A and B are shown apart, each in its own frame.
Chain A
Amino acid sequence: MNLTSIPFREKSAWITLGVLLVVFIPYFTFIFRLFAAEQLLAGAVLGAFVAATIFMILLEAVFHIALAIFSRSEPQDERDRAIELKSFRVAYGILAVTAFCAIGAIVVLALPYADLPGVPWLAPVFLSQIFFLCFVLAEVGKYLTQAICYRRGS
């Protein structure tokens, strides 16, 4: 595979996809380990979130600056816009499905025990991470769709 023949926007999509996976797989692994150990506290989550955000911004900046230096940027044309629109449709679908699944799981698994004190599934910190996971999955779906569309040449 000749890297110079890969369009700029495809490279950008692969970079962002890679950064999302590199940053958020360890992040959510850490979060769910804390939850399993019943140590999911707001301070720990906030610290992990800030660290993940900074790390992601740094990685994105470094790789995209390198991409801009070594690759020729091209203005967005109609096919780029069509691929972007398709990726947003896929991302919205993933977000809707995962969010509804999360809501359903909360209703089925946690709400029957809502009157009991200290139900971990209903802790705001845990719920926030569940919905954040839905958002991250949607973003992964978006950039994966773009990368696949460019790779297929469609």
Chain B
Amino acid sequence: MPKPTLHNQIRRLRFENNEMTQQQLADKTGVTRQTIVAIEAAKYSPSLELAFKIAAAFGKRLEEVFQYHSGKPVLRR
């Protein structure tokens, strides 16, 4: 069974928001640029608080920024 994965739209949203840099997003959310890099690359899962801060930085809802795929097959009728 595929492993659950967490995807995000941070890179796209940065470009849509006046081409915000990773450092600018890091400064807005109170973390280091390397943390933003790791989150964008899906190598690090942010805490709930940080995820909400990132979403707020883009003016988006949480699920518009982060998507969770459980890895379980979806049954369609």
B-binding segment of A74-82, A91-99, A122-130:
A74-82
B30 at the interface (CB under 8 A from A): yes
Q: Is the CB of B31 within 8 A of A78?
A: yes
| Chain B interface SS verdict (over half) | loop
With A and B bound together, what is the CA distance between A79 and B38 in angstroms? 9
Q: Is the CB of A78 within 8 A of B47?
A: yes
Q: Which residues from 21 to 77 on chain B have a C-beta closer than 8 Å to any C-beta of chain A? A: 30-32, 34-35, 37-38, 41, 43-44, 46-47, 50
Interface size of B as a range? 10 to 19
Interface flags, A61-95, vs B, CB<8A=1, else 0: 00000000000001001111010000000000000
Which of chain A's residues has its CB closest to B30's CB? A77
A153 at the interface (CB under 8 A from B): yes
Q: Is the CB of B34 within 8 A of A153?
A: yes
With A and B bound together, what is the CA distance between A150 and B33 in angstroms? 12
Residues of A within 8 A of B50 (CB): 78
Residues of B within 8 A of A79 (CB): 31-32, 34-35, 38, 44
Q: Is the CB of B43 within 8 A of A154?
A: yes
With A and B bound together, what is the CA distance between A150 and B37 in angstroms? 11
Residues of A within 8 A of B31 (CB): 77-79
Which of chain B's residues has its CB closest to A10's CB? B34
With A and B bound together, what is the CA distance between A153 and B42 in angstroms? 10
With A and B bound together, what is the CA distance between A7 and B35 in angstroms? 10
Q: Is the CB of A153 within 8 A of B46?
A: no
Known contacts A77-B31, A78-B35; A153 and B43 CB within 8 A of each other: yes
Residues of A within 8 A of B34 (CB): 7, 79, 150, 153
Q: Is the CB of B43 within 8 A of A77?
A: no
In the complex, given contacts A153-B38, A154-B44, what are 4 additional A-B residue pairs having Cβ atoms less than 8 angstroms apart?
A: A77-B32, A78-B47, A79-B34, A79-B44
Interface residues of A (CB under 8 A from B): 7, 74, 77-80, 82, 150, 152-154
Interface residues of B (CB under 8 A from A): 30-32, 34-35, 37-38, 41, 43-44, 46-47, 50
